[in-house]
Structure 1
């Protein structure tokens, strides 16, 4: 029975969108396009946040990749910017 499952899994090929004519948008990658202009490998990295293009809007401060909440800033930078101005 385990052999039958293996053959059905091997029969299911990973399908690429665009008929395999479009390539991944990452420089130097020649794998076929899968989703969001990435191949399956880079799409997985994109989902995990390892590529510069993140899944959500990030903080506008340099080198901060935390999710933006208000005014294009993360909670920490928003509080630093606007709470000091209110206290002064």
Structure 2
């Protein structure tokens, strides 16, 4: 049983492999890492996926300083509820 456990090694971290042989750099100003995807290095690509860069993966909320994913009408779930629940309560 212990021998079987030794044979099956699981990869703990995904290997970060640069594309283009490391000749192209990340498109973020001041970053010299080789690019990985979408013209970003592995570090900035991760931030892009999480919506932390100006050109995020998803449409973001139109309220100031809110970077959450849009639900309806250009607003995130929180701001949409705040805006439209007030109007619905006033009409009732």
TM-score normalised by structure 1 residue count: 0.64
Q: Which residue pairs with 2:60 in the alignment?
A: 58
Report runs of 4+ in structure 1 exceeding 6 Å deviation. Answer: none
Contact 2:37/2:45 (8 A) holds in 1 = yes
CA distance in 1, matches of 2:65, 2:82: 16
Task: Quote how far apart the aligned CAs of 1:78 are.
Answer: 1.2
Q: Which has the higher helix share?
A: 1
Q: Which residue pairs with 1:44 in the alignment?
A: 46
| The one of 4, 20, 44 aligned to 1:18 | 20
| The one of 66, 70, 73 aligned to 1:71 | 73
CA distance in 2, matches of 1:76, 1:40: 31
Task: Quote how far apart the aligned CAs of 1:21 are.
Answer: 3.1
CA distance in 1, matches of 2:24, 2:42: 13
Aligned residues: CA RMSD: 2.7
TM-score normalised by structure 2 residue count: 0.62
- Structure 1: tracts of 5 or more residues without a match: 6-12
Return closer, same or farther for 1:18/1:79 CA change in 2, 3 Å cut-off: same
- Structure 2: tracts of 5 or more residues without a match: 1-5, 10-14
